[in-house]
Each structure stands twice: as structure tokens, then as C-alpha cells.
Amino acid sequence: MSCNRDIWVFGDYRNYFQNRVTLQILARAVDLASKTGGKVCAVVLGHHTDEFVAEYIAHGAQIVYAMDDPRLKSYSIETFSWLMAWLAKKYQPEILLVGATRFGQDMAPRVAKKLNTGLTADCINLEIDENGLLVQIAPSFGGNLIAKIITPVHRPQMATVRPGTFQELPHDNHAPGEVIRPVLPDDLPKDRNRLISSEYRPSKKQKIEDADIVICGGRGMGSKGKFKKLFDLAALMNAEVGATRPVVYSEWASHDALVGQAGKNIKPKILLSFGVSGAIQHTAALIDAKFIVAVNKNPNAAMMKMADVAIVADANQACLGIIKAIREKIRN
């Protein structure tokens, strides 16, 4: 059966104000649809979800498939996977995109299996190639390698997209959109997972991963006491402090601050790196930093090579110098 050329985006509306990934993907879908010629559609499964339906239309969805039923009031991995597969079989979209929240990362592979199609996880970009195929660009190996992947034959072409990859479109109250309300099928199977409790508990860990300015410190800071100065600088700059593994192991900073493999990935506008040599386990987490200033006594440290500005100086001294400079400038 031939599909239409529509691009579907799963509506992950839980925790809406922090979780913007659906809007971000919709924006990209609009771009991609202009090349494939299909419609941009959102899928919303839940109960009392009209506000999200309206939001998605305002952010680029031309059609919203909305299934509203009390049985769908909490996110359920089995039910949602089954319904997404059912909807996809019924309406045959060309492309199906899901935000790579934990829920999305769990749901998308199940849907792909049910539909017997391929899935690329955690994409950092999506393109349409000259044959109209979706090119799925995803990192692997801790970000040390980027792969370009296509799904030549199987349909729909599926991908999960890393939150923060794309920029959402501005809210447009006047955007037109159609809402289609398929009826919940009778043979919807019972959920084998039972949700006993769900408590909204935003983790503090979001902060460094989303911070605009991150200050990373390495062993070159010298000591725990000197490392503490980075927190002073962070306070001045409204930044978060990150650390390398040796620093965390020496207990100059807590494990929450670990940036790198087994720690956090960061994507700040500015990264200030003090006394970090640049081991690959750390630098792999920095590829999304837009502007990097590195300070190190050793001009040839790997961290210095990947910086926009490499300052050859003692990390501790430089930190104190920058604190002083910023204080003066703010005062003036």
C-alpha cells in the first residue's frame, strides 16, 4: 500500500513547559515537509488534551490526530505504543518522529518493531536527500562519531530526536489546522504494566545540561580550596559549574558536576574551561558548546586545541583575574 507523504510527530505533552521537544520537531517537520510535499501532523493521545492540540496547531501542525479518552489519561508505554502503531497502519504516514525523552526512547523502538520498520535514535539533525529520503543524522560512540542513516524501503521512516536540537517556531494563533479524532478501537489490549505512583520531581541535574554558561574545572585548578573559586565566578556569571573525573574523584566537586562519559553532556553558549587537560571522556560531552574559552598552563593540552580562545596561564590565577574583571565591569 502506498503511503501519503505526511510527516507525523508524536505529541509528548507531559511536563509541557519544560519539555518543548514536540514543538521543536514540528518546526523541523515544517521544513522537511516543504521538500517532501506532505502534511505536518501531530498525534496526541490522552484525556482533556485540547490545549495541547491547539498548541501544536499554533506551532506548525496542519493536522492533529487526537484520541481523547479517560483510559489514556496517564502515559502508558504499552497502550501508547499499540495505538501509535495502529494509527500508523491506518493512516500510513511517510515519516514518524518522536522526541527522545525517556518515554519517547522507550516507545519509539516498540512502535518500530510493531511496524517492522527501522528507527534511528537520538538524532541531532534530519534532512531530505535528493531522492526524497529522510537522512537521519545521529551521534554514536559517545559523540565521537556521527552517522548518516537512511531507511531505504521500510515505512514509515522513524527517528527519535534529541531535545534541544531544533528551534521551535513562534506561536501563531491564526495558523489553520484540522483535528481528526479516531475512535479508540475495541481490541485495545490491556496494559501489562501497572503504574502505582507518579510524582513530579524535577531533578536538579537539568541545570547544567541546559545552562547557557558552564564553567568546567580540572585538576589544573590545584586544590579543593582553589576549585571553590569557580563557584564564585559561576555566581557572578549566573553559570553552572562542571568538573572532570579526577576532580570528582578527589572530591573537589560532587558527582552531579561530572561532565563527560558517565556524567552530563552540556551545550552552553559559552564554556569556560579551567585547568582541564582534555581527556576524550570529558571532551566528548562538549561538542555542542558554542564558544569555548580554555585556560591551561600547557598550551598543547587537547582542551586548548579545541577552544575558540586558548589562554596560556595558571588556571587558578586566571579564574581570580576574571572574577576581578567582571566585578569591576559590573560596578561601573
Partner 1 sequence: MKTSIKKMTGKWKRPKIMLKIIVCIKQVPMVSELPWNPKTGTLKRELAQGMMDPSSARALESALQIKETKGAHITAVTMGPAMAEEILHQAKALGADEGVLLTDPGMAGADTFLTSRILAAFIQEECQGFHLVLCGSQTSDSETAQVGPQLAEELDIPAIGFADQVEINGREVEVHRHVDDFFEILDMDLPGLITVDLSAYKPRYLALGGVEKAFEHPWIRRLSARDLGFDEKFSAVKESPTRIIDVYSPTTQKANRVLKGAVKQVVDQLFEEYGKVISSAMGKDLKTHEHDGV
Partner 2 sequence: MEFNPCMKHQLIRKTVREFAESEIKPHVSTLDRESRFPWDIVEKMKPLNFFGLQVPHALGGAGLDTISYAVVIEELSRVSAAVGLCVTVHNSVGIFPILEFGTDKQIKRFVPPMARGDSIGAFCLTEANAGSDAGGVETHAVEVEDGFILNGTKIFVTNGGVCGTVLVFAVTEGEDRKSNTGVFVIEGDRPGFSVGEIEDLCGMRANPVSSLFFEDCWVPKTNLLGRLGQGIRIGLTALDTGRIGVAAQALGIAQAAFEDSVSYARERQQFNRPLSKFQTIQNYLAEMATAIDASRLLLYRAAAQKDSGRPFSAQASMAKLHCSATARDVTDKAVQIHGGYGYSKEYDVERYFRDAKVTQIYEGTSEVQRMVIANSILSQPR
Residues of the shown chain interacting with partner 2 in the complex, contacts defined by CB under 8 A: 246, 249-250, 297-298, 300-302
Instruction: Enumerate residues 6+ apart whose C-beta is below 8 A from 132.
Output: 35, 36
User: Shortest distance, CB of residue 122 to partner 1, whole angstroms?
Assistant: 7
**Torsion angle of alpha carbons 285, 290, 294, 299, nearest 10°?**
90
Which grid cell is 43? 498525534
**Distance, C-alpha 75 to centroid of its chain:** 19
Q: Judged by CB under 8 A, does residue 199 bind partner 1?
A: yes
| Cβ nearer to partner 2, comparing 34 with 250 | 250
Q: Which residue has the cell 514518524?
A: 96
| Per-residue burial over 109-138, b = 16 or more CB atoms within 10 Å of its CB, e = otherwise | bbbbeebebbbbbbbbebebeeeebbbbbb
Q: Judged by CB under 8 A, does residue 164 bind partner 1?
A: no
SS3 state at 233: helix
Q: Which residues from 54-83 bind partner 1, rule CB under 8 A?
A: 77-78
Among 183, 186, 197, 251, binds partner 1 (CB under 8 A): 197
User: Shortest distance, CB of residue 119 to partner 1, whole angstroms?
Assistant: 6
User: Shortest distance, CB of residue 319 to partner 1, whole angstroms?
Assistant: 10
Q: Which amino acid is at 247?
A: V
- Binding part of the chain for partner 1, among 29-37, 217-225, 240-248, 263-271 by CB under 8 A, reads 263-271
The whole-angstrom separation of Cα 139 and Cα 125 is 10
Instruction: Enumerate residues 6+ apart whose C-beta is below 8 A from 244.
Output: 216, 217, 218, 219, 258, 259, 260, 276, 279, 282
| Cβ nearer to partner 1, comparing 62 with 86 | 86
User: Shortest distance, CB of residue 175 to partner 1, whole angstroms?
Assistant: 27
In contact, 108 and 95? CB cutoff 8 Å = no
User: Shortest distance, CB of residue 304 to partner 2, whole angstroms?
Assistant: 10
User: Shortest distance, CB of residue 260 to partner 2, whole angstroms?
Assistant: 14
Size of the site for partner 1 (CB under 8 A): 95
Eight-state DSSP code of residue 101: S
Q: Judged by CB under 8 A, does residue 330 bind partner 1?
A: yes
User: Shortest distance, CB of residue 179 to partner 1, whole angstroms?
Assistant: 26
Eight-state DSSP code of residue 219: G
Which grid cell is 212? 547557557
Among 35, 47, 113, 171, binds partner 1 (CB under 8 A): 113
Q: Judged by CB under 8 A, does residue 201 bind partner 1?
A: yes
Among 68, 69, 122, 168, binds partner 1 (CB under 8 A): 122
Q: Which residues from 267-326 bind partner 1, rule CB under 8 A?
A: 268-270, 280-281, 284, 287, 291-293, 299, 304-314, 317-318, 320-322, 324-326
Q: Judged by CB under 8 A, does residue 204 bind partner 1?
A: no
